[in-house]
Protein backbone atom coordinates (compact mmCIF):
# COMPACT_ATOMS: atom_id res chain seq x y z
CA UNK A 1 0.00 0.00 0.00
CA UNK A 2 1.39 3.39 -0.97
CA UNK A 3 1.41 5.95 1.81
CA UNK A 4 2.35 9.61 1.88
CA UNK A 5 3.31 11.04 5.25
CA UNK A 6 3.23 14.79 5.72
CA UNK A 7 4.97 16.76 8.42
CA UNK A 8 4.24 18.69 10.41
CA UNK A 9 0.54 17.89 10.86
CA UNK A 10 -0.19 21.31 12.33
CA UNK A 11 1.67 24.59 12.05
CA UNK A 12 0.77 27.94 13.59
CA UNK A 13 3.06 30.83 12.69
CA UNK A 14 3.14 34.61 12.62
CA UNK A 15 2.73 36.62 9.45
CA UNK A 16 6.09 37.12 7.74
CA UNK A 17 7.69 33.86 8.91
CA UNK A 18 8.99 31.18 6.57
CA UNK A 19 7.95 27.53 6.72
CA UNK A 20 8.54 24.19 5.05
CA UNK A 21 6.11 21.28 4.74
CA UNK A 22 7.42 17.82 3.93
CA UNK A 23 5.79 14.94 2.08
CA UNK A 24 7.53 11.57 2.31
CA UNK A 25 6.94 8.07 1.01
CA UNK A 26 8.79 4.80 0.53
CA UNK A 27 7.12 4.49 -2.88
CA UNK A 28 8.10 6.05 -6.18
CA UNK A 29 5.55 8.31 -7.85
CA UNK A 30 5.41 9.36 -11.48
CA UNK A 31 4.17 12.78 -10.46
CA UNK A 32 3.23 14.65 -7.35
CA UNK A 33 0.65 17.36 -6.91
CA UNK A 34 0.17 19.90 -4.14
CA UNK A 35 -3.27 21.19 -3.21
CA UNK A 36 -4.60 23.73 -0.75
CA UNK A 37 -8.00 23.21 0.79
CA UNK A 38 -10.11 25.63 2.79
CA UNK A 39 -12.83 24.50 5.23
CA UNK A 40 -15.92 23.19 3.46
CA UNK A 41 -14.35 23.42 0.02
CA UNK A 42 -12.65 21.03 -2.38
CA UNK A 43 -8.86 20.94 -2.81
CA UNK A 44 -7.45 23.52 -5.22
CA UNK A 45 -4.46 22.48 -7.33
CA UNK A 46 -1.30 24.53 -6.72
CA UNK A 47 1.34 22.71 -8.74
CA UNK A 48 2.34 19.43 -10.37
CA UNK A 49 5.95 18.19 -10.34
CA UNK A 50 7.00 15.38 -12.63
CA UNK A 51 10.78 15.20 -12.94
CA UNK A 52 13.05 14.03 -10.10
CA UNK A 53 14.83 17.06 -8.61
CA UNK A 54 12.38 19.46 -10.21
CA UNK A 55 11.83 22.81 -8.52
CA UNK A 56 8.80 25.00 -9.27
CA UNK A 57 8.01 28.43 -7.91
CA UNK A 58 4.59 30.00 -7.54
CA UNK A 59 5.05 33.52 -6.15
CA UNK A 60 6.14 32.95 -2.52
CA UNK A 61 5.72 29.17 -2.73
CA UNK A 62 8.58 26.88 -3.79
CA UNK A 63 7.93 23.21 -4.53
CA UNK A 64 10.59 20.54 -4.92
CA UNK A 65 10.32 16.92 -6.06
CA UNK A 66 12.95 14.60 -4.62
CA UNK A 67 15.59 13.11 -6.90
CA UNK A 68 14.20 9.62 -6.34
CA UNK A 69 10.57 10.79 -6.80
CA UNK A 70 9.68 9.55 -3.32
CA UNK A 71 9.37 12.84 -1.50
CA UNK A 72 8.55 16.49 -1.95
CA UNK A 73 8.64 19.73 -0.03
CA UNK A 74 6.72 22.98 -0.04
CA UNK A 75 8.45 26.12 1.22
CA UNK A 76 6.52 29.32 1.86
CA UNK A 77 8.41 32.58 2.22
CA UNK A 78 6.97 35.44 4.26
CA UNK A 79 3.70 33.71 5.03
CA UNK A 80 0.51 35.74 4.95
CA UNK A 81 -2.88 35.12 6.61
CA UNK A 82 -4.27 34.25 3.16
CA UNK A 83 -1.96 31.22 3.10
CA UNK A 84 -3.98 29.64 5.92
CA UNK A 85 -5.45 26.29 4.94
CA UNK A 86 -4.91 22.56 4.67
CA UNK A 87 -2.00 21.67 2.40
CA UNK A 88 -2.18 18.25 0.78
CA UNK A 89 0.37 16.43 -1.30
CA UNK A 90 -0.87 13.72 -3.65
CA UNK A 91 1.12 11.23 -5.67
CA UNK A 92 0.20 9.48 -8.88
CA UNK A 93 1.29 5.84 -9.15
CA UNK A 94 4.21 5.19 -11.43
CA UNK A 95 2.85 3.42 -14.49
CA UNK A 96 -0.66 3.32 -13.05
CA UNK A 97 -3.40 3.08 -15.63
CA UNK A 98 -5.96 5.06 -13.68
CA UNK A 99 -3.68 7.92 -12.66
CA UNK A 100 -5.51 7.99 -9.33
CA UNK A 101 -4.03 10.14 -6.60
CA UNK A 102 -2.83 8.88 -3.24
CA UNK A 103 -3.15 11.72 -0.76
CA UNK A 104 -0.96 12.60 2.15
CA UNK A 105 -2.21 13.09 5.66
CA UNK A 106 -2.29 16.87 5.28
CA UNK A 107 -0.66 19.85 7.00
CA UNK A 108 -2.97 22.38 8.62
CA UNK A 109 -1.38 25.82 8.46
CA UNK A 110 -2.59 28.83 10.41
CA UNK A 111 -0.90 32.19 9.78
CA UNK A 112 -1.65 34.72 12.48
CA UNK A 113 -1.70 38.44 11.52
Which residues would be at the binding site for other proteins (CB under 8 A)? Answer: 4, 30-31, 33, 35, 40-45, 48, 50, 88, 90, 92, 97-106, 108
Pick between residue 62 and residue 96 the one whose CB is nearest to other proteins. Answer: 96
- What CA–CA distance (Å, rounded) separates 21 from 64? 11
- What CA–CA distance (Å, rounded) separates 10 from 106? 9
Return phi, psi of residue 17, to 5°: -75, 160
Return phi, psi of residue 83, to 5°: -80, -10
Pick between residue 76 and residue 101 the one whose CB is nearest to other proteins. Answer: 101
Q: How far is the CB of 109 from other proteins (least distance, A)?
A: 14
Q: How far is the CB of 41 from other proteins (least distance, A)?
A: 5
Return phi, psi of residue 108, to 5°: -90, 115
Pick between residue 16 and residue 53 the one whose CB is nearest to other proteins. Answer: 53
Q: How far is the CB of 59 from other proteins (least distance, A)?
A: 19
Amino acid sequence: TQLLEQSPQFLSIQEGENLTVYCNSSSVFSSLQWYRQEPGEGPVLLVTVVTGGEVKKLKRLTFQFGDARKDSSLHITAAQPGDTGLYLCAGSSYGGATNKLIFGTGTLLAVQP
